[in-house]
């Protein structure tokens, strides 16, 4: 049947089945190709680093990779996924540095009176005496 006589739905159906056949022949490489092409060079670089490939590959199109390199990329992605899983359960507090008290806060804490007769009071008194002895020797 000539192409002009065929209906629009028949052509759409043909395109659909051609797509299915292309997918069967080329596998998931077309999906990976689409994802790869959408990534920035920086994102590609992260994947390539995890795969142990050189940074120059970030400008490669998907079709330029050898089977060995594609396998390395797959392994790199698996490594990245495992690393993400390690951090998965951590909350936002895990990604904050411990805040050190300011010098004025330390001084204020040192000047708080302690209860005489307690071990903490005795330790603080002993420390203050040592500081005074060191200061007297230095002058």
Domain boundaries, the chain: 3-88, 108-138
What residues contact residue 45 under an 8 Å CB cut-off, 6+ apart? 55, 58
Please say if the pLDDT value at position 26 is more than 70.
Answer: no
- pLDDT for residue 115: 79
Report the greatest alpha carbon distance in the chain: 111
CA distance linking residue 17 with residue 28, whole number of Å: 16
Confidence band, pLDDT 50/70/90 cuts, at residue 27: low
Per-residue DSSP letter, 40: -
Q: Note the pTM of the prediction, 2 decimals.
A: 0.51
CA 60 to chain centre: 23
Confidence band, pLDDT 50/70/90 cuts, at residue 137: confident
* Backbone phi and psi for residue 68, each to the nearest 5 degrees, phi listed first: -65, -45
């Amino acid at each position: 049947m000539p192409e002009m006589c065929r209906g629009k739905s028949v052509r759409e159906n043909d395109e659909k089945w051609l797509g299915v056949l292309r997918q069967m022949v080329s596998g998931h490489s077309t999906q990976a190709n689409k994802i790869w092409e959408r990534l920035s060079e920086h994102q590609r670089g992260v994947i390539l680093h995890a795969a142990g490939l050189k940074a120059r590959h970030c400008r490669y199109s998907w079709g330029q990779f050898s089977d060995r390199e594609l396998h390395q990329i797959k392994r790199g992605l698996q490594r990245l996924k495992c690393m993400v899983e390690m951090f998965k359960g951590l909350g936002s507090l895990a990604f904050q540095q411990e805040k050190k008290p300011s010098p004025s806060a330390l001084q204020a804490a040192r000047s708080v009176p302690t209860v005489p007769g307690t071990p903490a009071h005795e330790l603080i008194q002993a420390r203050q005496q040592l500081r005074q002895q060191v200061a007297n020797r230095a002058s």
